[in-house]
Amino acid sequence: MNSLSIIVPIYNERGTVKEALDAIVAKEIPGIRIELIFVESNSTDGTRDIVLTYQNNPRVKLILEDKPRGKGYAVRTGLKEATGDVILIQDADLEYDLADYDALVAPIFAERQAFVLGSRHGQGGWAIRKFTDQPLRGLILNLAHWTFTLMINVSLGIWLKDPFTMYKVFRRDCLKGLTFECNRFDFDWELLIKLVRKGYKPIELPITYRSRSFAEGKKIRMWSDPVTWLYALIKYRFQKL
């Protein structure tokens, strides 16, 4: 049977984590065995207590980190434990719709593609972040998204609308020979750049996306994280694989 590993990095998501994890645990895809890897990074808001209730679930591999080191670090930890034929990365914040799994994994299990991205522009329009409570921040992030997307596309010779989506789905064997080192959201850049440079150019499929604002818990650092993204682009575009 085909198998799918879903890696879920978790940190300070008390308000959404139970609803999100319940939905992930209940998710079924016909003909596919699902392995769940929950990586909890020693939250300070009570999230860990909620996550611990899943430790005896037979579908769940629970990894408890001693301290938070960033989403990228948590995903890298999960990758070491993944045994599925295909890997999918999922947050615990309810921004993404699990109903999109079926369409995202289908071309990979059908052996038509090795790497798929879930494009948040699936609902149309140029703005993927619409913060009703923080519209200026939303505008800044949307403009930054297109600026960084252009930089990625020009640098790698590709054309993507949403290279920074969380929904990166790929065959596990695509990672063979690659090593990763980024700890925060720059891991998204490192993963994409290295897979593309290895020859796996992704297709984009539309997904449903509901952006949450900083007031609702978004963890990106607006001024310091972009510096790490630019560094990752320069480093991993030219570094030997």
- Give residue limits of the domains in the chain: 2-238
Mean pLDDT of 47-65: 97
| Locus of tokens 């016909």 | 30
Q: Which residue has the higher pLDDT, 26 or 222?
A: 26
pTM, entire model: 0.90
User: How many residues are there in the chain?
Assistant: 241
Closest CA to 92 of 16, 15, 187: 16
Question: Tokens standing for 47?
Answer: 């999230």
- For position 195, what pLDDT does the model report? 98
Query: Do residues 134 and 216 make contact, with C-beta atoms less than 8 angstroms apart?
Result: no
Q: How far apart, in Å, are the Cα atoms of 33 and each of 21, 37, 74, 85?
A: 17, 13, 23, 10
- SS3 state of residue 47: helix
Distance CA 85, CA 81 (A): 12
45 has pLDDT over 80: yes
Tens-place pLDDT, residues 160-199: 999 989 999 999 999 999 999 999 999 999 999 999 999 9
Give mean pLDDT, residues 108-122: 91
- Mean per-residue pLDDT for 122-137? 58
Mean pLDDT of the chain: 90
* CATH no., domain 2-238: 3.90.550.10
pLDDT at 232 over 90: yes
